[in-house]
Structure 1
């Protein structure tokens, strides 16, 4: 593709090396993360990836489009251009969820860390996806004014944008609190007692929801 920056390659006949040839550059996996919940416009990606300059974002998008991980699409009534994951790109979802779950070891947020509602909800999905619980429910998360839903069916969890239909539990909180809850076993109880996390639903549904959210 004309204008595409040539990336470094490992030149190893190995599946992992081939994956790293595509995904190993800085910002690439975080860009894929931003598209997990649906299409996003260029300006939205730039705003939610602080520290990533516009030229580098354009370069990463061109590269991922060329490799079949991302494609352009039209969104809204005006069909404004946006980017979305291809089926190949969506195949990275379990990998990113497992990496997210693995990375939930930080005890608290740093004062210099940026946090977004989507990132906090991704931590929720990552925890729930690893539980393999026999739960058949939908949960709604209202995080800093943004709404997400988590559907759990026979040990599989899948998250998305928008409200649950209908929710067994509604969780209302902020992104920073939700990330800490997903990282610390005792944080959920502390957050609910302090009023930073509100869980609305029947007692039994709340217990099932909190079991999915509490890290082991």
Structure 2
């Protein structure tokens, strides 16, 4: 293996880019923020990455302490990759990138792939803010035509631990791919266009509900907070 390139600059931003500036690395982090993933899962949800590049990036991430590989308990023989604390700390970086890049999400191009859980990053702050504003906590299931994901919101501070297969904890919020495993306190149904509008700050959750672009179901305090956000 050739030696890794470095910017060789005594700068915090340059050091960070030494670790995560390679093509695909941050998108692998995006996938692992959802929770531990098998190599085949990662490859399926990163359209366009070659097997060689994916394997190389994962190895680099292990060497840099961003991710680890472990075997699932018996009877499963599968291995999964998961983020370390250092890797999980990149959540606000990915959120900021998603917020910065949201204006570029105009009309979807014919070549664009899409996965439902890719909308978790731009929506996460809006859902967390709506819940925090009402002091509400619980699980929100977000349903799109492309699939669904779930977000858990806590009213108080939590540690960065508590990860389970398919889900991770980050401060006051967690999220995972697919339906909420223990049921949802509120269900959000919308399309990708409404997701993008919320992400870009063009539409609030409450406005989307009133305009009929977003449907919130549930009788919980959290569901009411989302309808009124």
TM-score normalised by length of structure 2 = 0.75
**For this pair of structures, how many residues does the alignment match?**
209
Q: Residue 204 and residue 87 in structure 1: after superposition, are their counterparts in 2 closer, same or farther (change >3 A)? A: closer
Distance 1:184 1:122 in 2: 14
Matches within 5 A, 1:127-146: 127-128=126-127, 133=133, 135-138=135-138, 139-143=140-144, 144-146=146-148
Distance 1:48 1:118 in 2: 10
Q: Residue 116 and residue 22 in structure 1: after superposition, are their counterparts in 2 closer, same or farther (change >3 A)? A: same
Structure 2: gaps of 5 or more residues: 158-170
1:171 matched to 2:188? The reply is yes
Question: What is the match of residue 109 of structure 2?
Answer: 111
Distance 2:99 2:228 in 1: 15
Question: What is the match of residue 83 of structure 2?
Answer: 85
Task: Give the deviation of 1:189 after TM superposition.
Answer: 6.9
Post-superposition Cα deviations, 1:86-106, rounded to whole Å, max 9, x if no partner, equal 111111112222222232223
Classify the secondary structure of the residue corresponding to 1:25: coil
Task: Give the deviation of 1:34 after TM superposition.
Answer: 0.5
Q: Residue 129 and residue 195 in structure 1: after superposition, are their counterparts in 2 closer, same or farther (change >3 A)? A: closer
Structure 1: gaps of 5 or more residues: none
Classify the secondary structure of the residue corresponding to 2:150: strand
